[in-house]
Amino acid sequence: MGVVLPVRHQAPLPTTLIRAETPRAEAIELDVLIVGGGPAGLACAIQLARSAPDLGVGVLEKAGSLGEHSLSGAVINPIALRALFPDKPDSEFPFRQRVEGEAVYFMTAAGSLRIPTPPTMKNHGNYTVSLCELVRWLGEQAEALGVNIFPGFPAESLLVDGQRVIGVRTVAGGLDRDRNPTDVFQEPTDLTAKVVVLAEGTRGPLAQAWRDWQQVGSDNPQIFALGVKEVWEIPQPLDRVIHTLGWPLPRDAFGGSWCYPMGPNQVSIGLVVGLDYHDAGLDVHESLQRMKLHPLFRGLLQGGTLLEWGAKTIPEGGYYAIPHRLSGDGVMMIGDTAGLVDVPSLKGIHYAMESGMLAATAIVAALQQHGGGGGAHLAAYDQAVRQSRIVGDMHVTRNMRLAFKDGFVGGVVKAGLMTISRGAFPGGRIAMAADAEAPRETHADTPFVPDNVLTFSKVDAVFKSGNATRDTIPSHLVVGRDITGDVADFYAHLCPAGVYERQGDTLRVNPPNCVDCKATDVLGPRWTPREGGSGPRYRLM
Amino acid sequence: MKIAVCLRRTPDTTAKIVIAAGGTSIDETGVKFVPNPYDEYAIEAAIALKEKAGAGETVVVALGADSVQETLRTALAMGIDRAVHLQGNASADGLENARALADHVRGGGYDLVLFGKLAVDDYGQQTGAMVAELLELPCATAITMLEIADGRATVEREVEGGVEQATCALPAVFTCDKGLNNPRLPSLKGIMAARKKPFDIAPVTVAAGAVTVASLVLPPERAAGRIVGEGAAAVPALMQLLVSDAKVI
């Protein structure tokens, strides 16, 4: 048995993410540039377009079309949509269905025990959604209001002047494996703006680089979980929202599963595991495959069809991992990029939207008061977020996820006491290390053999993500140092999309398989922005 | 040089297709739509010809429901100057659609009217040639090369075992095949400019025509493949199966 310490093998963040360069002559000038067309970025754009229609607003999105890189469970709290569209009735929102019943189970390998629903996990009044559908719908609303939406244009780097962020450079398209231009080569484009809003989602590279550069820390480092999700067409409808704890995860891992009804003949099913797990062989994709064979789920899925598969990380650090500053000169962070996720209630979408709306309000005020120099006056956004429901909710549950760092049983007891005391127990802050600092124990493992009926290999899974990235794309993954066979095995299990394989004692990398979940960016090879439209093409996630 | 491109919106070729209730159309729920890939060759040809000429106008025309406007905007983002949405429901009879398009193009002063050689969803392959006939213009289908000089067009077509070259006077109608060019992707500047380009909406009524779709079915599912084995040791078993089961040797 050996030990892998992920941080020892990790490459540093590429220095090219921050460029102190004059924008090119052909640069596009905007007032506000939003990096990332998810719920946070689009809510921000919609609010901006409504309150200041004269502003030039652009949204860069790395997916080929809006929503194709968006993934969540998801049960959504509708309050943010209602606040953003006060004139629309709930029936116009792209919900799948209202939550009519819910159940939480503790699972063992052979059985399951229904347990009381923890107060944080009650979903009365909430709705199941496909985040892809929600994002597409938000995109239509934004476009109708005159927002420029640029799908297929990932941001490659921040353009800076002194300490100020002045814009973004996009990724070049049409390069071959050796980064030589092909006949469909697309030059990078520079975009400049008075304010750049980073809405990159989970583990955004530009936000990481900006925080490193400006030394914006947080009380605890951000920690992450990896979720793997499938959407199934099923013969019989599911009548309730299901959450589970326990098996197939080991006792020393934090996580659980969900199964949500998505209308009469579809369900969303998935498994989430905190990336501070201890077993180097833990494999979230394979664990989800095994879980589907459990009596709790097998009957539901039998006779059904796997429609789509996807994976994504989730920022789980909560209150103490929120960056000390959410804005700087010419720049702000919203949504998952700012870590605005409440793990005990499994909610982030409405917080993401609300943070985008608060950012929009602060931008409009700053630009009205200070004109072109408004980018230096964005601190009102920090205050607004700190005083909002977002941070209020996250404060109540501030130590709850952190209580599980030493194991499941103690975590449940502590989380219960925290619920009763509204976060006052145990007082203070539970300190966390970054996920990559947690050592992983290696041991021989038994390979998983899919049945191709209910369970599938990673190769088949990637096909079901819609990923059709061309094989000749340059690698966007930066592998670190001293990669032994054990480390290669660890990456192979960590990555749900089969990007990494152990061959002998070396690591083989298949970059086109990548679905941008960012798990290895947390624990291993770095993810950098690649050609627009690459990666998954989710329709139902 | 005034060029019209007639455009169709088609499901993305990787989209999972489900037949809608009624069994004569596809269920569009959740399906991603794109400009018909063959039409993109026509769009690229129009933009490149205008760029080369240094003057002129390119216009993209589409017939259909409001959903086609997104497709027209993609063409504008690629570089087409102006869009026309002929707002109405297309017929299953290609001739009726051709009539609606020809009525719009006629009298527009176009030197060239370009189409894709077929739409990848219904494989109709009729509209371009029918529009040419209705306008009484010369037509070449499935062109892989197009040159304009002195009021004449020279085109090439890939025919069985070789290449056919043809010429005709303008105005003319051509349908475009793969190989004609490499369609450009919309640029950021193009996407922004597209919002400000002229976009006309003209309601049209398309007659039902003589053809109706009786039914639409998906192809039967293919059986899963078999892995016989790996390496040289598996060759005899594979040969045996090719002879006895597949009967291809």
| pLDDT score, position B104 | 97
Inter-chain touch B185–A189, beta carbons under 8 Å? no
**pLDDT above 80: residue A393:** yes
Q: DSSP 3-state assignment of B48?
A: helix
Question: What is the mean pLDDT of the segment spanning B147-171?
Answer: 96
| pLDDT score, position B221 | 84
Predicted interface score ipTM higher than 0.90: no
Among A170, A183, A186, beta carbon nearest to B185: A186
| pLDDT score, position A372 | 86
d(CA B234, CA B228): 7
Q: Which CATH number among 3.40.50.300, 3.40.50.720, 3.40.50.620, 3.20.20.80 corresponds to the domain B2-203?
A: 3.40.50.620
Confidence of residue A131 (pLDDT cuts 50, 70, 90): very high
Position A246 in a domain: no
| pLDDT score, position A422 | 86
Task: List residues bridging with B199 in a β-sheet.
Answer: B83
Residue type, A102: E
Phi, psi angle pair for A331, to nearest 5°: -150, 150
Cα nearest neighbour of A29 on chain B: B189
Inter-chain touch B182–A184, beta carbons under 8 Å? yes
Among B14, B195, B224, beta carbon nearest to A466: B14
Cα nearest neighbour of B33 on chain A: A65
User: Which helix H or strand E contains A115, and what residues bound it?
Assistant: strand A112-115
Distance of residue B186 Cα from the nearest chain A Cα, in angstroms: 9
Inter-chain touch B30–A466, beta carbons under 8 Å? no
Position A196 in a domain: yes
d(CA A152, CA A484): 36
Position A495 in a domain: no
Please give the full DSSP string across A224-292, using - where no structure is assigned. EEEEEEEEEE-SS---SEEEEEETTS-TTS-EEEEEEE-STTEEEEEEEEETT-SBTT--HHHHHHHHT
d(CA B66, CA B85): 8
Confidence of residue B153 (pLDDT cuts 50, 70, 90): very high
Phi, psi angle pair for A165, to nearest 5°: -85, 125
Question: What is the mean pLDDT of the segment spanning A248-275?
Answer: 96
**pLDDT above 90: residue A446:** no
Phi, psi angle pair for A312, to nearest 5°: -165, 150
pLDDT single digits (tens) A300-358:
999 999 999 999 999 999 999 999 999 999 999 999 999 999 999 999 999 999 999 99
Position A23 in a domain: yes
Confidence of residue A370 (pLDDT cuts 50, 70, 90): very high
Among B16, B182, B191, beta carbon nearest to A150: B191
Q: DSSP 3-state assignment of B81?
A: coil
Q: How many CA atoms lie within 13 A of B4 on its CB side?
A: 23
**Burial status of residue B210 (CB atoms within 10 A of its CB: 0-12, 13-18, 19 or more):** exposed
For chain B, the structural domain boundaries read: 2-203
Inter-chain touch A537–B14, beta carbons under 8 Å? yes
Tokens 């000429």 belong to B53
pLDDT single digits (tens) A158-201:
999 999 999 999 999 999 999 999 988 889 999 999 999 999 99
d(CA A61, CA A47): 18
Quote the tokens at residue A184: 């469909």
- Which residue of B16, B70, B188 to mutate against A (max A Cβ within 10 Å)? B188
Of B43, B76, B15, the closest CA to residue B198 belongs to: B76
d(CA B205, CA B210): 15
Residue type, A293: L
Partners of A232 on chain B (C-beta within 8 Å) are none
Distance of residue B192 Cα from the nearest chain A Cα, in angstroms: 6
Q: Is the pTM of this model over 0.90?
A: yes
| pLDDT score, position A387 | 97
Whole-number average pLDDT of chain B = 95
Distance of residue B169 Cα from the nearest chain A Cα, in angstroms: 32
Quote the tokens at residue A482: 């001293």
Q: Are strands B57-64 and B82-87 parallel, antiparallel or unpaired?
A: parallel
> Quick count: other Cβ atoms within 10 Å of Cβ B226?
9
Question: What is the mean pLDDT of the segment spanning A361-370?
Answer: 97
**pLDDT above 80: residue B33:** yes
A110 contacts A290 by C-beta, under 8 angstroms: no
In chain A, the number of structural domains is 1
Q: How far apart are the first and last CA of chain A?
A: 38
Of B140, B204, B151, B200, the closest CA to residue B176 belongs to: B140
| pLDDT score, position A412 | 84
Of A445, A457, A372, A389, the closest CA to residue A194 belongs to: A372
A274 Rama class: left (phi>0) / alpha (psi -120 to 50) / beta: beta
Position A388 in a domain: yes
Structural domain boundaries, residue A212:
15-96+130-221+319-396
The CATH number that applies at residue A340 is 3.50.50.60
d(CA A248, CA A270): 12
d(CA A165, CA B45): 40
